[in-house]
Copies of this chain bind each other. A is one copy, B any other.
Amino acid sequence: MKRILLRVAYDGTDFHGWQFQPGVRTVEGELNNAITLLTGKETEVTGASRTDAGVHAMGNVAVFDTEATVPPERFAQALNTYLPEDVKVRSSEEVPADFHPRKVRCRKVYEYRIYCDRMPDPLRRRECWQVPVKMDVDKMRKAASYLVGTNDFAGFCSVHTQAESTVRTIYSIDITEGAPADGGQQIAIRICGNGFLYNMVRIIAGTLAEVGSGKHEPEWVLEALKSADRTKSGPTAPPQGLTLCEISYFPETEAVYPWV
């Protein structure tokens, strides 16, 4: 029996999110189905991050156990022949039998994209939050700087969170701005942290957008953080702007997780 880790990319637009639900299209459901078809044995994956409907991924992680004799690195290509075009495995590898993708320390990178233009752009509608006003990116960067570090993010998670602690560490928030040839302003908020509460990245994006559009000053974000009160931060930005880019697992000890 081997435990296989998959790095999974998907366009979340036409999925009811990651988590398996009977009767609807989910990323987990498609992966379970492909593995079962490939190996001939009913199999269920365990995911690292149960993304919401509409949220995308370049590098979500899933593990499963199998007795199939396929070489570990070959699962990616083999599974892709059974997967629909909006979800694909980017790579596969063997991990220790006790590896659990939600119970190991990790670093996650998310990107949230905003497209600012007076008119909507059909080509960006699936992967950007489209807003009709330009943003002041320098003010957004100032506001974001208050969120970096180890903080109680109770003011930046949905009230339905099941997390025991709302303390998390954000390592960095980088905000880049592009001016595409076709006009408009393309903003990417790239956030790296050691874990995120429910809706946390989307609430951060929605809060930074309030600063970028001039509704609030950057210091308002510091107050919202200190308050630990969800009603003091900004709205939850819509799911289509969000992509889970990467999950890297830290070795607890080098000996136990030598593949990192």
Binding site of A, secondary structure by majority: helix, strand, loop or mixed?
A: mixed
Residues of chain B contacted by A243 (CB below 8 angstroms): 123
Q: Contacts A119-B76, A121-B9; is A58 near B182 (CB within 8 Å)?
A: yes
Q: How far is the CA of A246 from the CA of B90 in the complex (A)?
A: 34
Residues of chain B contacted by A181 (CB below 8 angstroms): 245-246
Find out whether the CB atom of A120 lies under 8 angstroms from the CB atom of B11.
Answer: no
A227 in the interface, Cβ–Cβ < 8 Å? no
Say which residue of B58, B91, B119, B126 sits within 8 Å of A90 (CB atoms). B119
Find out whether the CB atom of B127 lies under 8 angstroms from the CB atom of A123.
Answer: yes
- Give residues of chain A (80-108) contacting chain B, Cβ–Cβ below 8 Å: 80, 85-91
Residues of chain B contacted by A77 (CB below 8 angstroms): 119
Residues of chain B contacted by A120 (CB below 8 angstroms): 80, 85, 88
In the assembly, how many copies of this chain are there? 2
- Give residues of chain A (134-188) contacting chain B, Cβ–Cβ below 8 Å: 181-183
Q: How far is the CA of A142 from the CA of B158 in the complex (A)?
A: 54
Residues of chain B contacted by A125 (CB below 8 angstroms): 11, 85-86
Nearest Cβ on chain B to A223's Cβ, whole angstroms: 33
Q: Contacts A245-B181, A246-B182; is A121 near B88 (CB within 8 Å)?
A: yes
Q: Contacts A182-B245, A245-B182; is A11 near B119 (CB within 8 Å)?
A: no
Find out whether the CB atom of B9 lies under 8 angstroms from the CB atom of A122.
Answer: yes
A59 in the interface, Cβ–Cβ < 8 Å? yes
Q: How far is the CA of A182 from the CA of B122 in the complex (A)?
A: 24
Q: How far is the CA of A120 from the CA of B58 in the complex (A)?
A: 11
23 A-B pairs whose Cβ atoms sit less than 8 Å apart in the complex: A9-B123, A11-B122, A11-B126, A56-B123, A58-B123, A58-B182, A59-B182, A76-B119, A80-B119, A80-B120, A85-B122, A85-B125, A86-B122, A86-B125, A88-B120, A88-B121, A90-B119, A90-B121, A91-B119, A123-B127, A123-B243, A181-B246, A182-B245
